[in-house]
Amino acid sequence: MGGRRLDQPLLNDNYLDKLIRRSRERSNTLGDLCKWDMEGVEIPPDTLFKILTAIGMEKWTPVPINPKTAARKAITRIKHMLEDPENNLKIMSRRVNTAESDVVRYAIVEESVDLSNLDLDYSTVNQVLFRKDTETLEFTGNPVPELVAAFDYLCSVYTDAELKQMVKNIVNNHGCIWLNDKSGMVFIGRGQKADLVEKMLKLFDELQQHGGPGGTEPDMCYFRPIAILDDEENRKVMGDALIADIGAELHDATEYLDRAIADDSKKSLNAALQRFRVAKAKGELYEDMLTVNMEGIRERIEEANAKAAELMTKLAEGKSSD
């Protein structure tokens, strides 16, 4: 017996958008619980910059596209074009270690399945070389036009990977509370960053118009804020989420700091300091609003900052003695 199915949805997107907007207009709300995701969005840098500028978020434009990253993405993207499922032939790509500082090598490997002998056979059929100096692709075997085309295309667009990181940067630097960083669920307090939700709605509405090659639609691209009432239970839930979120930030910050202390690494130190700033800012932003006890959190931040200060002094002294 088949499952039931409506001929058409009874709640269309227009009604859902109106429902969401009406819920957020209430005055007795704590903030917005926002669920977002993004798959299949690909957009040229100049187009993205125009969108971000129009909504006052141009400072969050991702870093320029890295051709080396585009080469890796292109290889992953075209693998299925080279496969032959009927003959049990699969294609894998593997990074090849090399002493050549100006070259990144990838081996194109065939995996043949011998069903009669229940065995696998692997053979390298080609190698792709990305040359850092010219930012071009070369092949040790026959050129692969599909790979070159994919590389050229991916050098010209931000993909959902860069865009997701952009959104995470926005969320982190605005002090939003992560409830589930894997599924993209965050809490934005009402009155803290009042216009952030509206800007994110506009951003995602624009990004929905930009799919992959051939005008394909993005698989999932949405930003859905749901207003939650300001009551004791919601304050406790968000307060617990705040402590967990800050704890995760401090855990990462401590790892960066330990790495910096072990290696005298300025890069790791800067990464640790940024994590500490984010954790401290979130605490200051929501402590009174959510009525949570931040005493233990403050102590951890102060201890870590003291270690960071010692390392900064050590690095400065080392630099002056050189």
More confident call, 72 vs 285: 72
The HSE-up count of residue 251 (CA atoms within 13 Å, CB side) is 6
Q: Where residue 95 falls among pLDDT bands split at 50, 70, 90?
A: confident
Identify which has the larger pLDDT, 91 or 278. Answer: 278
| pLDDT score of 1 | 46
**Sequence-separated (6 or more) residues with CB below 8 Å from residue 51:** 203, 206, 207
Condensed to tens digits (0 to 9), the pLDDT of residues 144-180 reads: 899 999 999 999 999 999 999 999 989 888 888 888 7
pLDDT computed for residue 115 by the predictor: 64
Average pLDDT for residues 236-248, to the nearest whole number?
87
pLDDT beyond 70 at 272? yes
CB 185 within 8 A of CB 179: yes
pLDDT digits (tens, 9 = 90+) for 64-74: 999 999 999 99
Say if residue 308 is exposed, middle or buried (CB neighbours under 10 Å; 0-12, 13-18, 19+): buried
Which residue would you say has higher pLDDT here, 209 or 123?
209
Predicted confidence at residue 100, as pLDDT, reads 79
pLDDT in tens, 18-42: 766 666 666 688 888 999 998 889 9
The tokens for 307 are 């270690």
Domains and CATH numbers, the chain: 30-43+159-301 (no CATH), 67-154 (3.30.565)
Assess whether pLDDT exceeds 60 at residue 320.
no
From the number of C-beta atoms within 10 Å of its C-beta (0-12, 13-18, 19+), residue 302 rates as exposed
| Comparison of pLDDT for 53 and 232, the residue scoring more | 53
Per-residue model confidence (pLDDT) at position 248: 86
How much is the average pLDDT of 103-115?
A: 80
Give the C-alpha distances (Å, rounded to integers) separating 12 from 9, 35, 71, 168, 217.
Answer: 6, 18, 40, 29, 18
Residue 284 corresponds to which amino acid? E
